[in-house]
Structures are given as C-alpha cells and as structure tokens.
Amino acid sequence: MTTTDGEDRIRRRPDDEEADIYDEDGNVRGDFLALVGAAIADRDTLFLRQNVARLHESEIGDLLEAIQPDQRLALVRLLGDDFDMTALTEVDEAIRREIVDQMPNDQIAAAIGELDSDDAVYILEDLDKEDREEILAQLPFTERVRLRRALDYPESSAGRRMQTEFVAVPPFWTVGQTIDYMRDEEDLPYSFSQIFVIDPTFKLLGAVDLDQILRTKRQTKIEQIMRETNHPVPAEMDQEEAAQLFEQYDLLSAAVVDENGRLVGVLTIDDVVDVIHEEADEDIKRLGGVGDEELSDNVLSTVRSRFLWLLINLGTAMLSASVIGLFDGSIEKMIALAVLMPIVASMGGNAGTQTMTVTVRALATRDLDIYNAGRIIRREAGVGILNGIVFATIMGAIAGTWFHDYQLGGVIAAAMVINLMAAALAGILLPLLLDKMGADPAIASSVFVTTVTDCTGFFAFLGIATWWFGI
C-alpha cells in the first residue's frame, strides 16, 4: 500500500512515544483523522490498537470529539478491552451519553472496575438508574459499596468528586511499618501524596506527607510526625467551595470527611482543576443565557437550551419598546431623537455588562461579600459618573455638530450621564440582590441589567428632550 509522508509517519507511531497527534493550532491533525477514519471503515483493529489505544485519555477524548458521530461507537467497539474508559471523562456530556448508552452493561462494568472511583462515578452518574444498578451488581462488593456511597452524595458536591481509594494508617504504627505496608499492599491508589491517620472508627486524626515519611527514621511512630489535616472537606460541601479551599491554601489534595468526621475519600488537584474549568464555563454560559448546552448538542437540544431566555428577553424588549411608545409624538416631531436614542441605550447596556461581569465573577470566587460590598458599590458608582461625564462630553459635541443643534447635544449628554450611572448601579446591585435571594446571579443578571439600561436610557433621553424642547 502506498502512503503519503504524513500517513507513513502516523503508521510508525507505535515506536515513537513522542509523536504528536495535534497540529500547530492544537487541533487533532487532519491526516491522523483521515487514517483513523479509514481504519474504522476497514475494521483495522491492529492500526487502532497501535495508534489510538495507547494515546493519553485526554488525546482519545479529543479524537472522539473530532471524528464523525457515526465513527465514535464503531471506534469504541473495535478497540474493545483496549479502549480506555477514562477518555469518556474528557468529552462533552452529550458524546459520553451517546457512547455509553450504546455499550453493553457487562462491558461497562468490566471497564469501570479498572477506573479510579472518581472517574467511575463521573461515568455512572449519567446512566439510568436501572443500568447503573445492573453495572454495580457486577462489581466486587467493596468497590460496589464505595461507588454507591459516592453516588449517594449530592450532584456537584465534594463527595461526588472524591476518590475513595486512599492510604490510611493508625497513629501507633511506625514509619517502617507504614513503608512496608505500602510496598506489600497491592490495593493502593495508583498515585498519592499523603497518608492519612485514622482511629479504629475511621475518624480522621491527621495526615503525613510522603516526603516526611521518606525523611524520618523507621522506628519513629506516625503520631509523632503527623500534622492536623489541612482543611478537611465535608463530603456535602459544594465542589466550587472545595475548589476555593484548594486555591486559597495551595493544596494538592485534601481529606473528605462525612458528618461524623470519618474519612470517606480524598479530593485531588486534578479533579479540582476540572471543577474550576466547569464552574467558569457554566458562569460564562449562564451570563449569555445558553443553559448547559455543549458543542456536540444537536439543533433541537440547543434550541431548547436557549429558548427560555430568548423568550424572557422578548418580554423585556417589549417593555423597552413601551417606554419609547410613551414619547412617539416627540419622535414624530423631532426625527433626530430616533437616530440618537439607540446610542444612549447601547452605551448603558455595554457599561452595565462590564460591571455585571466583574460582579458575578467576584461573587463566584467569594471575593465580593458583605464586608466590602459597600466600598465596591461606591467605586462602581464613581466609575459610572466619570465615564458618563467623559462620554457625555464626546457624544454631546458629536450630536451638536451632526444636527447643528447644541441644545440637542446637551440633552443627549445629560441622558448619557444618567444612564451610565444607572448601568453601573444595576450591574452591581442586581447580581447582589439575586445572590442574596439564593438565585445564581449569572443566570438572570444580563437580561435584567439590559432591561434597566434600555428603559432608563430611553426614558431619560426622550423625557429630557420632550421637556426641554416642549414637544
């Protein structure tokens, strides 16, 4: 078979551990996609096992997202036991569901048994209850109990994110006993950086870092070198709050405890990085009113995701239009008002969005609270006034020159100051109010802030013009 240089390079990858499937832009290379597609069509399992199965899980995830939808399940089936199920934690939820729903439960159970518990829970939580129970029933008892315990915790909690595999020893053990235990015990986590210290009831007493173990003589008791656990995480704690603990205290891992202080798992930095990414992604989407949609969603799913907030936005737009309707006589007599009023509303909307974005993010990271809210509100009000004065001066001069009427320039300047001030206050007060009411400020702030700035801008500009010019 004759191949191009690119194809030949790919086919030699089994002996080239450093070969890269990505192009200079970070996308999966087109020639590699073509070869994988051809191998799937030809059912070339040898090529797929040599060139796909040994990729890192994140690379397989990127590949699954890049190939055609009808090729994904075929790739998984052709790889069989060589398919790394961890790759499904690296893809969009829609793709993960699409693949898992078509896999037989016994194959999923066999693959789940090879995964870390946190990755296993991530896949199991998307399944129907019947399928999940059937899969869990095929797992060894101890592993089944661990996974069920994690699945019992609320969604988006630390308990759902934790890894139930950890190393725990009693305080009376010596360093030598602990080292021998880690050498001889086969059922240990693949990677860990802390050893936890527990009493006979599994209540967390403290922790010892591995580097401390290596630097201490064998006869030293663990209780002599253990320290209090750095900020144990309650299993019921929201995953975003847990991530903030990691960020604040520079943690690599943290013990997860139940309501009685018993050790039930460990939260690691790799899971926390995923949480931070998910939460930031969620906030950005909610600010835009697009729900939980993924890039892999179909047209109907995307429409459903966006429809509600577009409908709400239609209602608020009609409210803004009704404000304009109050001054239809003034607009008929002075056409310049119709030309200029979108400028006032647009400037207010943009200014409000700036303040709102900063506020919502500060609330999400807990940087904005009751202690500094007053100072931040005063700051944003000052920013609104100063920006209003600057842009009022610019727009007033432009409008006066454009329409040869500097009184009109003064009117739009006054309206600009009022609206930018209102935008600054709405941008911070509305998210704060929604947060105080227990609602997610990222969900609704953009619609409400835009409504406030549109209505205020139209009413201020048209109202001042009607009063000033007597129209």
Task: Report domain extents, the chain.
Answer: 5-157, 168-268, 299-469
Question: Residue 72: pLDDT band by 50, 70, 90 thresholds?
Answer: very high
Q: Does pLDDT of 242 surpass 70?
A: yes
- d(C-alpha 180, C-alpha 81), whole Å: 33
Instruction: Return the half-sphere exposure (C-beta side, CA atoms, 13 A cut-off) of residue 419.
Output: 36
Instruction: Give domain 299-469's CATH number out of 3.40.50.1820, 1.10.357.20, 3.40.50.410, 1.10.3720.10.
Output: 1.10.357.20
- d(C-alpha 374, C-alpha 467), whole Å: 35
How large is the average pLDDT for residues 393-422? 93
For residue range 147-186, what is the model confidence (pLDDT) as tens digits?
A: 999 999 998 899 999 999 899 999 999 999 999 999 998 8
Per CATH, domain 168-268 is 3.10.580.10:
yes
Sheet of 168-169: strand order equals: 168-169, 194-198, 204-209
- d(C-alpha 191, C-alpha 235), whole Å: 21
Sign of the alpha-carbon torsion through 245, 249, 253, 258? negative
**Among candidate residues 179, 164, 263, 264, the one with its CA nearest the CA of residue 219:** 179
Locate tokens 């190393």: which residue? 167
**Among candidate residues 333, 330, 291, 327, the one with its CA nearest the CA of residue 309:** 291
Model pLDDT, residue 19: 56
For residue range 305-362, what is the model confidence (pLDDT) as tens digits?
A: 778 777 887 888 888 889 888 888 888 878 889 999 999 999 998 899 899 888 988 8
266 membership: H or E segment, kind and range = strand 263-268
| Least reliable range by pLDDT among 38-47, 156-165, 224-233, 273-282 | 273-282
- d(C-alpha 419, C-alpha 89), whole Å: 46
Question: Residue 5: pLDDT band by 50, 70, 90 thresholds?
Answer: very low
Helix segments in 125-165, DSSP class H: 129-137, 141-152, 158-161
Instruction: Give domain 5-157's CATH number out of 1.25.60.10, 3.90.1150.10, 3.40.630.30, 3.40.50.2000.
Output: 1.25.60.10
- The pair of structure tokens assigned to 103 is 């896999």
- d(C-alpha 195, C-alpha 182), whole Å: 10
The answer to whether the 5-157 and 168-268 domains have the same CATH topology is no
- d(C-alpha 237, C-alpha 450), whole Å: 34
Average pLDDT, the chain: 87
- The pair of structure tokens assigned to 412 is 């739009």
Please answer whether residues 174 and 220 qualify as being in contact, where contact means their C-beta atoms are separated by less than 8 angstroms.
yes
- d(C-alpha 158, C-alpha 162), whole Å: 6
> C-alpha 203: how far from its chain's center?
32
- The amino acid sitting at 302 is T
Sheet of 253-257: strand order equals: 233-234, 253-257, 263-268
**Among candidate residues 277, 274, 269, the one with its CA nearest the CA of residue 245:** 269
